[in-house]
Structure 1
Amino acid sequence: MITKIKIHGYRIYKDFVLLPNPKLNLLVGGNEAGKSSLMEAVALALTGRVGGRTATEELNPYWFNTLLVADFLKAHRAGERVALPEISIELFFDNRADLQSLCGAINSDVPTNACPGVSLKVLPNTEYAPELEEWLKSPSLLLPVEYYTLEWRSFADQQLTKRPRQLAVGIIDSRTVRSSSGVDYHLRQILSDHLEPAEKASISLAYRDVKASMSDNALKDVNKRLGILEASLQEQPMSLAMDQSSRTSWEAAVTPHVNDVPFSMSGQGEQASIKISLAMSRHAEKANIVMIEEPENHLSHTSLTTLLARIEKLAGDQQQLFITTHSTYVLNRLGLGSLILIGRSTATKITELEPTTVSYFQRLPGYDTLRMALAKKIVLVEGPSDEIIFERIFLDRYGLYPMACGIRRSEHARPRAFPLPATM
């Protein structure tokens, strides 16, 4: 499991460190706090992909932290000799026996930390040193990523070309669960992980036989007619045959169905639920890391309750979950003790919560703890009448409602005074 995440220079994160919980991590934050960027960075280091496409294909200037780029340009224009901005994402894992092939000390920790891990870096390509020097004569905020290279390595300094087999990863973004091809890359990976090697080999062989039979039967008469056209320069007969290359493998042709309806035509809530269930129900002996973005999307209250119960049931000792949410219900139901409040450069945990407190809010999932967690200031009131009075006094004094100033209220608690802002 991931024991530490270090991000430097990627999107919103200038320098960021998170020590995640070993099992459940509920990532909460305001808009633009960096929750999605954090999930994307973790997925990038684990799989070498973004949205199903390779990192090399997706690399663009907007990956780089704008503050770091601005600092670099300021120093460069001042005549200082400074290094070009870089990106580094490091994932540290626990010392499990099946992860020892990833173990080494090639990471940024000081003092030296020898442990399993992977790192992904985007840095200037030395082969393009002359081109970079030319660009530096008139630099801009958009870095020339064409002259950069991407390095994906284990802490043992071994180059990675695909996701390490030991790291079974499930990535579910229920905000954009549909894909143009009907079934996205991550779902194919999840489905593939559910099949044994012998089953994959058997299906592949059968699929190749089916394509061969198409050539021998359905295309037979067409090939007879094409064979007399003498289209080739050497007057050799031309014919059609089914493509047997790896790019037309059975994985790309097989589409999952739900109640005899293609998966891509199911409701978005249904798609998200299926992907989450498949990702979490893999073989227990695998080191599973499951990342779910906003499971509440596209789901009714009843369906969300069912899905959360399924998540709780399927969560195993060998699985680590990262879940982003804007739902108080999700936060309370899965457990306040797993809350991680994400900011632009920090991550804060709620520590030392009594188990009885966590279970209380699990039984009272509608209580708006999330609004309290994200508030800049909180005013505790006894009930709705007190809230009406407080809001009217605040409006009369400042001309704005408390919510417009980032001030939240919470009911059914012993009243407690908080100083109001001096100026608005």
Structure 2
Amino acid sequence: MVATSLLDALDAPDEDDPVRPRTTRDWAVDSLTFVFAIGFAIAVTAQEFYGWGTPERIGRGPAWLLWLDLALSLVLCVALWWRRRRPVSLALLGVLFGVFSAASGGATLTILFSVAVHRRFPVAAALTAINVAPTLIYAWLRPDPAIGYWATIAWTTVFASIILLWGSLIRSRRQLVRSLRDRAERAEAEQQLRVTQARQLERTRIAREMHDVLAHRISLLSLHAGALEIRPDAPAAEVARAAGVIRASAHQALQDLREVIGVLREPAADGGPERPQPTLTDLNTLVEESRAAGARVTLELPDGAESPPDAVGRTAYRMVQEGLTNARKHAPGALVTVSVAGAPGSGLTIRVRNPGPITVGAPVLPGAGTGLVGLAERATLAGGRLDHRREPGGGFTLEAWLPWPKT
């Protein structure tokens, strides 16, 4: 019981060479090795009986020993079909046969080759040495008058060493191929992961653009619709003008949505950002849209002809846009002050400030509550910072600083 457990532990496959199903190639190789071992056993036995050019070899043992040698050799040849799963057990069995058997030499060398291929070098070297050791006894019990005692031991050692090195070389090559294949699979998996991450980042960016663009447009629509709801008796001209603004805002919202979704369908022609990508120069248009909707907004832009880089201006635009949207949601009718100031080297400061709401009964616009979170993320990605705080009396201030490098 203990011996069986020990043999099972020794025959357990290595982690770097697991047992796999036998392929067609494996069946062909096993068949050839089986035929080789059988032929070797028959040839050695015939040599013992008939000499074949070396008559001094005849009669190196009684006839019953020669037939027993052949029979046990055939048993070891049949056991070769299990050499892939139990090479250590078969190698130890070959040690017992090696004390008196010459015909089992072919099967023993084949088993040692399997050990060298499928087991680590220390294990293979130890089993090879153990299988060579019985030659000391075999060469004494059945001396070979053609080559002598020490020559028999030397040649056995040489052949066993060649088999050990050959099998170890094949094992090293298989490990190298397996390692290269694993690296290729890992590289492919990492590439797929990078593609997935890039897609996720692109989806996040598009979702952020949709939030920034559509929240602004839809808040304008809600503001006009709320005005019509509050004043159902307004003059027809004023109603028509408000309806025209609603129609124009809805059209612009759809256009912005098409441009954002278009990023998913058409790759960028160059390395620049895709549309819609407004910059700091578009703040006047943004403020005019808010004023046309009835909001009170003042805008202060930096003096001088130099404008910040497009990436900085784009981030500043989105921050002002989100600030105006939040003011319309939470402080309808309040005066919103937008100031943008800065210079190359000192950075760009954006400030959106409004007092508490002054319009009583104005409809409350719904919101997801993630606008400021998105702005903070934008500022961090741009290398800047964002601060927002409530003022006494219910007011609110949104302030951000963005780096503006010197050109």
- Alignment TM class, shorter chain as reference: under 0.3
TM-score of the superposed pair, with normalisation by structure 1: 0.20
> TM-score under structure 2 normalisation?
0.20
Higher helix share: 2
Structure number with the higher strand fraction is 1
Rg larger in structure? 2
